[in-house]
Amino acid sequence: MKIKVERSGGLAGLPISNEIDGKNLPSELVSTVKNIMGGQKSTSLSMKSTPKGAGDHYIYKISIINGVNRRVIECNQYSIQDDLKSLVKYVEKNSNRTN
């Protein structure tokens, strides 16, 4: 299983892509991934939570690929849920950066 986090936006507009093999995930993140693959999470977290007038925030695209199954979640720093945020931080910290 591959978990990929692509981040865009921010003041500098630098796109960053990080990827890990999901087989050694900490237990608290395993359930997050299961929820994503099981369809319990919306693939497009509402951007309506973005404050009016906000600028230079981060945008995330989280992809989980398990064989032929693939789930992608899009969100930003205002709409990202705590468990997804933890997953993103873990991937960024433990990844082989792909860009």
Partner 1 sequence: MDFKERFDVINREGQFVNRRNQSCFIIPEYMNKNIVEKGTKKQKEHAWKNLILTEQLRGRRLVTGLMSSMFSISNKLERTIFDAENTENLPGTLVRHEGERLKGGKTVSEAYDYSGATYDFYKDIFERNSIDTRGMKLDSTVHYGEDYNNAFWNGTQMVYGDGDGEIFQRFTKSIDVIGHELTHGVTQYEAALEYEGQAGALNESFSDVFGSLVKQYALKQRADKADWLIGAGLFTNKIKGVALRSMKEPGSAYNDPTIGKDPQPGHMKNYVDTTSDNGGVHINSGIPNRAFYLVAIELGRYAWEKAGKIWYIALTERLKERSNFQKAANSTYEVAGTLFGKNSQEQSSVKRAWDQVGIKIKAVK
Question: Which residues bind to partner 1, rule: CB under 8 A?
Answer: 6, 8-15, 49-59, 61, 78, 99
* CA–CA gap between residue 95 and residue 44 (Å, rounded): 24
| Beta carbons of 37 and 67 less than 8 angstroms apart | no
**Smallest distance, Å, CB 58 to partner 1?**
7
**Smallest distance, Å, CB 67 to partner 1?**
25
Number of C-alpha atoms within 13 angstroms, CB side, residue 77? 11
Closest CB to partner 1 among residues 39, 51: 51
**Smallest distance, Å, CB 88 to partner 1?**
13
* CA–CA gap between residue 4 and residue 20 (Å, rounded): 7
Closest CB to partner 1 among residues 1, 72: 72
Q: How far is CA 5 from CA 1, 45, 50, 54, 97, in A?
A: 13, 15, 20, 22, 10
Closest CB to partner 1 among residues 1, 85: 85
**Smallest distance, Å, CB 99 to partner 1?**
7
Closest CB to partner 1 among residues 23, 97: 97
The two tokens of residue 43 are 């693939």
